[in-house]
Amino acid sequence: MDLHLNGKTALVTGASRGIGLAVARALAAEGARVVAAARKPTPELEAAGVTPVAVDLTDPAGAERLMAEAVTELGGLDILVNNVGGGDSDVTGGFLALTDDRWAQMMDLNFFTGVRVTRAALPALLATRGAIVNVSSISARVPHGGPVAYAAAKAALTAFGKALAEEFGPRGVRVNTVSPGPVRTALWESPAGYGAGLAAAMGVPHTELLAGLPKSMGMLIDRLVEPDEVAALVAYLASPLAAATTGADHLVDGGAVKTA
């Protein structure tokens, strides 16, 4: 399907791997010119046909610097994908293990980075009547026992997207959210990721936890979600084909969330 993105300009954050890398690739494959931001650009990102920018978006000055580079490279901006997030690989100890500093770090990475980048990008997006897609999580809708700070930050991001849609929809900027379930990324599969830490905390082999994860999460498919499946929805929502879609939160979770 042609998403009519040829020649459009896009900025994707958190693009070094996983969902962000898949989104950058998907947009580029549709003909968009993409600036892809990451703390440390990976060889995979370098080879994706995009313009990588190394930036730490937890630095309050990072968003303005990123936008300056993106606008210089692209000449304007049609699409912003706020994907940067994570940091939950070491929070399997539950609520009482989280210090104020760790709460602040999780909120900064998963929520305030999106706030800052959006603030910096909105003048350019208003000029093009562009689109924003925020990547949240089903944890925002169905928080589990952990990681609680991650779930709270993603819930804030989801609410942020709806509020932006209300304010800027009448001015031509569409804002939508994509909330994935468990995705086959390093978060779950890496020996140093959240999945491995959770398996250790539960006293089960990592491979056993991954094999049983779809069922334990209530998914109606027998596998994890693929990054490309999330990226396909992000690209569609960013495209003119979704011109009547705004203020929505779309699940890509294999049926894990049972409520509307």
Locate the domains of the chain by residue range: 9-181+226-248, 183-224
CB-CB contact of 34 with 10 (8 Å): yes
pLDDT of residue 145 exceeding 60, the answer is no
pLDDT of residue 197: 84
Tokens of 71: 């606008």
Mean pLDDT of the chain: 94
pLDDT of residue 86: 87
With pLDDT > 90 as the criterion, what percentage of the chain qualifies? 85
- Mean pLDDT, rounded, for 195-212: 92
Query: Which comes out higher in pLDDT, residue 57 or 260?
Result: 57
- Mean pLDDT, rounded, for 92-99: 82
Query: Which comes out higher in pLDDT, residue 87 or 77?
Result: 77
Query: Which comes out higher in pLDDT, residue 140 or 95?
Result: 140
Among the listed residues 84, 168, 159, the one whose alpha carbon sits nearest the alpha carbon of residue 123: 168
Buried b (16+ CB within 10 A) or exposed e, 57-66: beeeebbeeb
CB-CB contact of 119 with 101 (8 Å): no
- Mean pLDDT, rounded, for 56-62: 96
CB-CB contact of 144 with 216 (8 Å): no
Strands (E), 20-105: 33-38, 51-54, 79-82
Among the listed residues 105, 49, 93, 74, the one whose alpha carbon sits nearest the alpha carbon of residue 201: 93
> Which CATH number among 3.40.50.300, 3.40.50.720, 3.50.50.60, 3.40.50.1000 corresponds to the domain 9-181+226-248?
3.40.50.720
Q: Compute the distance between CA of residue 31 and CA of residue 240 in angstroms, rounded to an integer.
A: 14
Q: Which residues are catalytic?
A: 150
Q: At 70, which amino acid appears? A: A
Q: Compute the distance between CA of residue 136 and CA of residue 146 in angstroms, rounded to an integer.
A: 16
The predicted model scores a pTM of 0.95
Residue 154 backbone dihedrals phi, psi, to 5 degrees: -70, -35
